[in-house]
Structure 1
């Protein structure tokens, strides 16, 4: 245990400008006296530790000292740090914190904090603007279930609003477009399915194990991913120039064709689910569905239902 703590403290010191003895004692749940002895041991091992007194005091490694980088250049190490920090934003895990400390230790403080450093130029944050605590709880439970091959049971609401109890063999956690999914074998559907974590309720990790099915994450093709509703529409949409910025934000450039009159034509595939009509209605009269006809008719019907709803309410 002492050796592990000494290594961890060394990585922290190599990765940070300065850290106080009390912060280290709190982090490793030991006494200040133990931290003082650890510092003496690290210094005796050949890593030059400098101590500073006062309010802003603490310990730090001599500026020019660094570990052997072996085959990685400073730029490559900085790229690794940026990627790891992006993962750490949405995946709170002590192992990632430890990796960040170790990788950061391969750079000097001046290399990390230089205005020319890649770590100062790029920030990757996969979190949505609304940080939902229940998603993190589900992530933690599902990760444990995946690691130990435990079945999970939960209530799931599909795209049509139907709610069913599912028993699933969890296989992977997937973060795509700021949305977390769990990929696994659903006993109800008897097939592999993708479950959106925000639609999961009453998640339970069972104490019953399962035999993991053959599976490789790299083989996943999200364009044909099995979902609860597999029908897709080939949409042709015409947007008013007033919503150009929003269209550019929400659709890929290859799907957008800007017309001479400033209108935007969009051709895209979209699953046949209620969210499609909610999305189109949010553009109001700034969008026209050119094809398919059934989507245009359904959109008109939904709009008429809204008008009828408020005609009734406002009488």
Structure 2
């Protein structure tokens, strides 16, 4: 514990102009006398700590002193710090913040960040990510209610293996005891998340199962062709940016999407219907029929209007 505190003090002094003994004592939950002894040890180890007197006095590193930067270049440091900042903001992780301070000592003083990472959590329970991360690190099973893409609500027991942020949403992967297979769950659809006290051993065959199912997934991808009018262009590009695009002289656009089982993909139906009259599905014909049926059912709510 003392060694970890000494290392942390060194990096803090490298990243701040002057820090008082009382400030350091409060942060590390020790007495100022302990900090004085720590500073003596740091000086004895060869670090040029300077003592400043007065009301704003304290300890700092000699001007111009930096740790060896040969292990990482400035680009590497900036990239790592950018990612860590995003994680620290999501998980409120003091360890990540400590790592950021240590990494910053290896970068140039005047380098402003050119990239920011926003790991948006507005679509999840604010407690879900920290709870799942704790469950993964401690290998604790979790229980929750889940609303599937078919709007079916079930209770699941999961051995969580990892968290992923993709397509603007957080997902947790792991072994679902309820279905007895590897599954992925979107956090925005998880309700009443509960950590249990039951531990689990890591599943050894999960990676093989994922590889085996990936081929079956690819085989069930189908083309969906959508004609988009100019007034829906921006929204369509936001939603389907990675699709094939063909632009036409009248300002419209044709998109070709590869979708897993589009005739069952209710998320796709909702998205396409959300374009209103700004988009028309051209293929497959069966999907056109499904959307027509969805529109007719919705119109029944407004027959008296």
Q: TM-score, normalised by structure 2?
A: 0.84
Mapped contact 1:89–1:127 kept (Cα < 8 A): no
Mapped contact 1:244–1:264 kept (Cα < 8 A): yes
Mapped contact 1:12–1:105 kept (Cα < 8 A): no
**Per-residue CA distance 1:22-51 (angstroms, 9 max, x = gap):** 443332122344434433443443322345
Aligned counterpart for 1:298 among listed residues 290, 298, 301: 290
1:17-166 equivalences in 2 (<5 Å): 17-51=17-51, 59-107=59-107, 111-112=108-109, 114=110, 117=111, 119-128=112-121, 130=122, 132=124, 134-135=125-126, 137-166=127-156
Q: TM-score, normalised by structure 1?
A: 0.82
**Per-residue CA distance 1:60-117 (angstroms, 9 max, x = gap):** 323311112233223322232223223333333233222222222223xxx13x2xx3
Over the aligned positions, Cα root-mean-square deviation in angstroms equals 3.1
| Structure 1 residue aligned with 2:226 | 237
Distance 1:212 1:245, change over 3 A: same
Provide the C-alpha distance between the structure 2 equivalents of 1:190 and 1:150, rounded to a whole number of angstroms: 17
Distance 1:98 1:33, change over 3 A: same
**Per-residue CA distance 1:251-278 (angstroms, 9 max, x = gap):** 2255222122221111112343322222
Aligned counterpart for 2:247 among listed residues 250, 255, 258: 258
Q: Unaligned stretches of 5+ in structure 1? A: none
| Structure 2 residue aligned with 1:193 | 183
Query: Helix, strand or coil: the match of 2:82?
Result: helix
Provide the C-alpha distance between the structure 2 equivalents of 1:52 and 1:305, rounded to a whole number of angstroms: 76
Distance 1:276 1:17, change over 3 A: farther
Distance 1:3 1:190, change over 3 A: closer
Mapped contact 1:192–1:226 kept (Cα < 8 A): no
Cα distance, 1:299 vs. partner? 1.6
Mapped contact 2:232–2:278 kept (Cα < 8 A): yes
Distance 1:61 1:131, change over 3 A: farther
Provide the C-alpha distance between the structure 2 equivalents of 1:40 and 1:284, rounded to a whole number of angstroms: 71
Provide the C-alpha distance between the structure 2 equivalents of 1:157 and 1:86, rounded to a whole number of angstroms: 28
Aligned counterpart for 2:300 among listed residues 283, 304, 308: 308
Query: Helix, strand or coil: the match of 2:113?
Result: helix
Provide the C-alpha distance between the structure 2 equivalents of 1:173 and 1:215, rounded to a whole number of angstroms: 19
| Structure 1 residue aligned with 2:271 | 279
**Per-residue CA distance 1:159-186 (angstroms, 9 max, x = gap):** 1111111122222221212311111111
Task: Report the count of equivalent residues.
Answer: 300
Cα distance, 1:53 vs. partner? 6.1
